[in-house]
Structure formats: structure tokens, C-alpha cells
A and B are shown apart, each in its own frame.
Chain A
Amino acid sequence: MDARAGIDVETAIAACAAGDRSALRALYDREAAQMLGVALRILKRRALAEDAVQDAFLRIWSAAASFDGTAGQGRGWIYAILRNRALNMLRGEARVDLVDDVEPLGLEDPQESPEAMVARMSDASALKRCLETLDAARRRVILLAYTDGLSQGEIAGRLGLPLGTVKAWTRRSLLALRECMG
């Protein structure tokens, strides 16, 4: 995480808006590996995940002027751009799931469980503390949606739950998380 110490994300986004390409590079040095990890979880294939990261950085560069978040929201903005791109590729364009059975196409290793993801979250994170207050099944619904990019219908299929149940759990769990995080 040393690379993260040097720059302030919101400042770097503002510098990108002013056309400072070294600020984009600084964001890349700080976040690209983490972003690729996030994209790989969703897209499963390295070439697609790198596409998503590439598109995200170009979007950050071209849309930096539109960032109007407050301090502390820069990374949320960046990761939302990345996740939006990855989800569009997953749901709209690539339908990569249909060729996932071809091992040599770059499918990554089986992924760690949602519980392991939570375990690796920073103990300082309010989200971690609050996720741990949800029961395991509801926590899993939230994690599959966010970290794996599954649609509500896909989660229902994966967990053998009615779609209405998945939707209700999602909504109520988010409500509980908001109350817990304040």
C-alpha cells in the first residue's frame, strides 16, 4: 500500500480535469493493480478485465471534470466507473459466462468465498463491522451482487432462492447497513 501514500485521489482527479497526464499516471500507479483485481472477480478473464481497467482510466481522464464528490469520495467514483464498465461487459456485450468452460481462455482460479473477502477487509472499516451484523445468507446476497457482479436473478439461481426473496433481502440488508454505518 506504499504507493497509496503519496497522492490524494481527489486532488489527482482535479489535476486530470486540468489535463495533467502525470496525475492520471499517479492514479494508475496507485490503483491499477487493485482495479484489475476487482475487474477479475467480475469478469473472470484477464484480457477482459484489462479492457475494463483500460476503459475505466480513459473514462476517468475524459470525465474528471464532472467529478463533484466531496473529500473521501474519489476512490468510490473511480471504482464505480470500473464496476459500471465491467458490469456492462458482463451483462451487455461479452456474455463471457457462455465460454467460461474453455479452460485455456484465461479463466482465473476458483475464487475465494465471500466470507474470506469479508475476513480480508480492513478492521477499521465500518462496512466490515456492519456486514458482520447481517446473518450469513443475507451477507452472501450482498457480496455476490457487489464483488461478483451477479444480477439479482443470477443470485437467486445460484443460491436456490426465489427472486422476490433475493430482492427483499437485498433491500432490507442495505437498509440495515445504512443504519449501522450511520
Chain B
Amino acid sequence: MSERDSLAAEYALGALEGADLARAERLERDDAAFRAAVARWRADLCALDDAATPAAPSPDLWTRIEAQSHAARAGAPTPARAPRAALWESLAFWRNAGLAAALASLVLAVGLVAALNRAAPSPVYVAVLNAPDGRAAAVVNVHADGAVELIPLEDIAVPQGRIIEVWTLQDRAQGPVSVGRMDRARRLKLDLKTLRAPDVNHLFELTLEPPGGSPTGKPTGPVLMKGLAAKSV
């Protein structure tokens, strides 16, 4: 194999990064012989894809694809995905919509102000969040009126240039959703208004993220603590 054949093979395998990957992508676009070599490798390697264990997609996956395929052909901007999963799933949407992050911050801020004004009677659900070493590091109280509050039990070391982002996971299909951010450990009202009320076994977790929150809309940094909600007596 020539050097270029090797490049085509490693490209089809998925082994390239950085400058080599960029070069292969350029050749695939511009060089018919390279493109043919890559296509041949892909057809051969596909036998490995056939050996993966199939998994049944969610019932609504086709619905989402079909809805977006209309938008794609019409040349319309990509709409948010299903409301159930908009925050979590629309990576491209967030990336492309320059104002989205600012808007999300605004919505969050408004939600926080509203939440802060709410009274907080005794909680109906409680989540104890544990640090990786097992220490209880914070609690989340869920009150009957829907207010949700995070109360740290100890200080959190936040590296320079990082903030703390709070996530909840209500179901796996949806994935984690950001419900609050803070620059240091403090009491924080969580904004769950686009979500269901917390329930038993809903997960809460804190991660370190860049200023302004995770750039992907999903947790990207190390997990500081996590815990599941349980019904209080």
C-alpha cells in the first residue's frame, strides 16, 4: 500500500486526528481515487458494524427524523427538537444559534428570581448528593409547591475559569438537563420549570463547566457530587 492507501485505510477505520484527519477529509472531497479507496474500506469494515448488537430505537425517533427532514429540505433553519428533549439533544441548534446561550441565561435568571421569591415549606423529596469519596456534600430539597433548592454542606473547590453547573436526570431517553449554575458553593434555587416535578430516583449531579455553562448543553466536566431523590417521611 502506498502512503496514501494507508491514509485511506486509517481514515475509514477512524484512527486519524488533527492534521492527518483534515488532509484525509480534503482528499476525500477532491481526489476520486482516494474517495474510491475509502469507500472500499468502508464497505469491507461494515462487516464489523453488522456484528454489533442491535438496539430498538425509541418509538419517537422516526417521528423526530421525519419532522426534521421536512425542515432540512425546505432550507429552513434547524428547529429545536422535540420539546421533551430540546435542551439535551439540539447540540447543533445551540452551537449555531448565537443568541441561544444568552437567552438561556436570561430565562434561567428570570426563573431564579421567580423561584427565590417563593416560600419554602418542608420538603417532600430530598436528594443527598455524595462526593466521589462518599461524603455527603449537598442536599436538594423538593417542596410541595414545586420549589427545588440546593443546599451545599461544605465548600466546593472551583478552579479558576470554571463554574459549577447543576443537572438533573429524569429519564434516560431525555438525558441530563441543566437546572442551575453558580460560581461557588451557595444555596441555589433550581429551575425545573421545563421539566416534571422531581420524583423518586430522579438524579441530581454537579459538574465543573466553563463560564456560562457547558458549551454542549450536556455535562462535560468532572462530576463533583451526585445523588438520587427519595421521598421524605
Contact = CB atoms under 8 A, between A and B. Distances in A.
Interface of A: 19, 21, 24-25, 28, 32-34, 36-38, 40-41, 45-51, 53-55, 57-58, 61-62, 68-70, 72-73, 75-77, 79-80, 83, 87, 89, 91, 93-96, 98-99, 101-102, 104-106, 112, 117-118, 120-122, 125-128, 142-143, 145-147, 149, 151-152, 170-171, 174-175, 177-178, 181
A177 B8 CA distance: 13
B133 interface: no
17 contacts: A19-B73, A33-B54, A48-B175, A58-B68, A69-B39, A75-B49, A76-B45, A83-B14, A125-B50, A126-B47, A127-B48, A147-B48, A170-B10, A170-B15, A171-B6, A177-B9, A177-B44
Interface stretch (B149-157, B166-174, B178-186): B166-174
Contact of A34 (B40, B50, B89, B172): B50
A147 B40 CA distance: 18
Contacts of A32: 57, 61-62
A71 B78 CA distance: 32
B119 interface: no
Interface string B201-220: 10101010000000010111
Given A19-B73, A37-B52, A58-B68, 9 more contacts: A32-B61, A33-B57, A37-B53, A47-B173, A49-B55, A77-B42, A122-B50, A151-B17, A174-B9
B1 interface: yes
A40 B55 contact: yes
Give the 6 A-B residue pairs with the shortest CB-CB distance, closest first: A76-B42, A47-B175, A76-B43, A106-B172, A33-B54, A37-B52
A50 B60 CA distance: 10
Given A51-B89, A57-B65, A95 B220 contact: yes
Contacts of B172: 45-47, 104-106
A135 to B, nearest CB: 18
A74 to B, nearest CB: 9
A25 B218 CA distance: 29
A174 B203 CA distance: 44
A142 B14 CA distance: 10
Contacts of A19: 73
A79 B13 contact: no
Contact of B58 (A48, A50, A72, A101): A50
B5 interface: yes
A63 B195 CA distance: 35
B47 A145 contact: no
Contacts of A174: 1, 6, 9-10, 13
Interface in B19-57: 35, 39-57
B223 A121 contact: no
A151 to B, nearest CB: 6
A171 B5 CA distance: 10
Nearest to B56: A33
Contact of B39 (A34, A76, A94): A76
Contacts of A28: 62, 65
Nearest to A82: B49
B218 A94 contact: yes
